[in-house]
Amino acid sequence: MKRKMAAEFLGTFWLTFGGCGSAIFAAAFPQLGIGFAGVSLAFGLTVLTMAYAVGPISGGHFNPAVTVGLWMGGRIAPAEVMPYIVAQVIGAIAAAAMLYAIASGSPTFEPGRFAANGYGDLSPGHYNLLSCLLAEALLTFFFLLIIMKVTSTNAPAGFAPIAIGLTLTLIHLISIPITNTSVNPARSTGPALFAGGEYIGQLWLFWVAPLVGGLLGGLAGRALGEKNDLKLPAHV
């Protein structure tokens, strides 16, 4: 279990550091031209790279919503759920702390939104609570459904990290203007703690919506699966 927790810590650290870091640093300089598309790709690449690196150890969840969804889908033992989530949240907070330490070295640094998620006035496009809740739940649902199917025995071997990374990229391309994209409660928690204020007050939505979407996506993936898929490890 210690190796699995270490893998989840490192994977979630890299996801938060790489994805949020691209938004905090590179996207802050328009002349670099990465924009929403670049940030979306950065998040996808973090999952793709760490899924290949440590996925064989822990299954490569890096996300509490993925963990509970795969539990619902029969891919992870109940006793592993909370240790995974703890490791993921600690990894995201550690990554956000490192991002803050680096970013604060600039004389022009202002924490601002710090890549945090929000609805209403804190939404990039000022979408209301209901719109953000629906987007987060629906996108997490499809994320889990895709994860379940590309890691099944019927899927081509070795390609799951690519499909999952591209799915996360697509999710960000859709939802950065809506919520700044969560679909991952751990990723949301780390930056919110450093953005502070209202971002912490709105953090509940970015736990509730992804967890609900993840549970439903895992259930749907299980319902659509073959019997010999149900007890597989998640191995992405």
> Quick check: is 236 in a domain?
no
Q: Indicate the pLDDT class of residue 11, thresholds 50, 70 and 90.
A: very high
With respect to residue 84, please indicate whether it lies within any of the assigned structural domains.
Answer: yes
Of 172, 179, 191, the closest CA to residue 131 belongs to 179
In a domain, 77, yes or no: yes
Tell me whether residue 155 is in a domain: yes
User: Length of the chain in residues, anyone?
Assistant: 236
Q: Answer yes or no: are the C-beta atoms of 65 and 139 closer than 8 Å.
A: no
Q: Look at residue 235 and tell me if it is in a domain.
A: no
7 near 88, Cβ under 8 Å?
Answer: no
Q: Is residue 234 part of a domain?
A: no
Residue 156 vs residue 205, higher pLDDT = 205
Show Cβ contacts of residue 79 under 8 Å, excluding neighbours closer than 6 positions: none
Per the structure, the count of domains in the chain is: 1
164: domain CATH number?
1.20.1080.10
| pTM, full prediction | 0.91
Whole domain around residue 114: which residue ranges?
A: 2-229
pLDDT at 233 over 60: no
Q: What is the mean pLDDT of residues 124-130?
A: 97
φ and ψ at residue 110, rounded to 5 degrees = -135, 130
Please answer whether residues 116 and 190 qualify as being in contact, where contact means their C-beta atoms are separated by less than 8 angstroms: no
CA 128 – CA 139 distance, rounded (Å): 17
| Residue 130 falls inside a structural domain | yes
Per-residue pLDDT reduced to its tens digit, 159-191: 899 999 999 999 999 999 999 999 999 999 999
Residue 28 inside a domain? The answer is: yes
- Report the 10 Å Cβ neighbour count for 9: 23
